[in-house]
Amino acid sequence: MADMTNSQQTTGANAPEARSARKSRTGTVVSDKMDKTVVVAITRRVPHPVYGKMVTRTKRVKAHDQENSAKTGDTVRIMETRPLSKDKRWRVVEIVERAR
């Protein structure tokens, strides 16, 4: 262990290059009734596997909102994070557009 070079020491668990890139998605806030939590609907359009027609797929996820600043109807950017609760695996990075 004492003869480890400097490059071997930086490739440990705390090295930033060892961590994979986190997923980032953009969605619409559909609920803000919980404390420091928002429900975000992520909508994506994919072709139907047989017919090729574009169909809409929606996934609802819970995201951590530290300042309680996101409101229903806002478009937000969320990023993957460590598990924060039973259902929360995302956090709000920024509010892209406010609801009118």
* Residue range 69-90, pLDDT digits in tens: 999 999 999 999 999 999 999 9
Q: 13 pLDDT band (50/70/90 cuts)?
A: low
The answer for residues whose C-beta is within 8 angstroms of residue 5's C-beta and 6 or more apart is none
When divided into structural domains, the chain yields a total of 1
Question: Is 7 within the bounds of a domain?
Answer: no
DSSP state of 21: P
Give the domain range for residue 47. 22-97
**Vertex 59: Cα angle to 50 and 56 (nearest 5):** 40
Query: Residue 62 to residues 7, 36, 55, 57, 70: CA-CA distances in angstroms?
Result: 39, 10, 23, 17, 12
Question: Is 83 within the bounds of a domain?
Answer: yes
Q: What is the CATH classification number for the domain harbouring 83?
A: 2.40.50.140
The pTM assigned to this predicted structure is: 0.77
Question: Is 54 within the bounds of a domain?
Answer: yes
Give yes or no for residue 10 having a pLDDT over 80.
no
